[in-house]
Amino acid sequence: MHPPAATRPLVGAGLKMNLTSSEARRYFDALRPAVAGITGCDLVVLPPFTSLHVAQERLHGSNVAWGAQDVHPLDRGAHTGDISMPMLVDLGCTYVEVGHIERRRDHGETEGVVAAKVAQVLRYDATPILCIGEPAAGDPEAAREQVVGQLRVELAGIAARDRARVVIAYEPTWAIGVAETASAGHVACVQRGIRAWLASPEGGGVAVRVIYGGSVDQSAVRSMLEAGGVDGLFVGRAALDPGRFAAIAAAVQAATQTSG
Query: 97, 109, 154, 171: which one is catalytic?
Result: 171
For 151, residues 6+ apart whose C-beta sits below 8 A from its C-beta are: 132, 168, 194, 197, 198, 203
Confidence of residue 250 (pLDDT cuts 50, 70, 90): very high
What CATH superfamily is the domain 10-259?
A: Aldolase class I (3.20.20.70)
Q: How far is 230 from 191, CA to CA, in rounded Å?
A: 7
pLDDT of 109 reads: 96
Confidence of residue 2 (pLDDT cuts 50, 70, 90): very low
pLDDT tens-digit profile of 82-112?
A: 999 999 999 999 999 999 999 999 999 999 9
Confidence of residue 4 (pLDDT cuts 50, 70, 90): very low
Residue 191: is its pLDDT beyond 60? yes
Task: Give yes or no: 171 in active site.
Answer: yes
Q: How far is 126 from 144, CA to CA, in rounded Å?
A: 27
For 84, residues 6+ apart whose C-beta sits below 8 A from its C-beta are: 71, 72, 74, 75, 76
Note the pTM of the prediction, 2 decimals: 0.93
Sorted by where each begins, the domain ranges of the chain are 10-259
Phi, psi of 170 (to 5 degrees): -80, 115
Burial category of 17 from C-beta neighbours within 10 Å (exposed 0-12, middle 13-18, buried 19 and up): exposed
Closest Cα to residue 218, out of 249, 241, 242? 249
| E strand spans, the chain | 10-14, 42-46, 64-68, 95-98, 127-132, 167-170, 209-213, 232-235
Q: Which uninterrupted H or E stretch holds 26?
A: helix 21-34
Average pLDDT, the chain: 91
Question: CA triplet 59, 65, 86: central angle to 5 degrees?
Answer: 100
Query: 72, 100, 109, 186: which one is catalytic?
Result: 100
Most confidently modeled of 113-127, 181-195, 222-236? 113-127
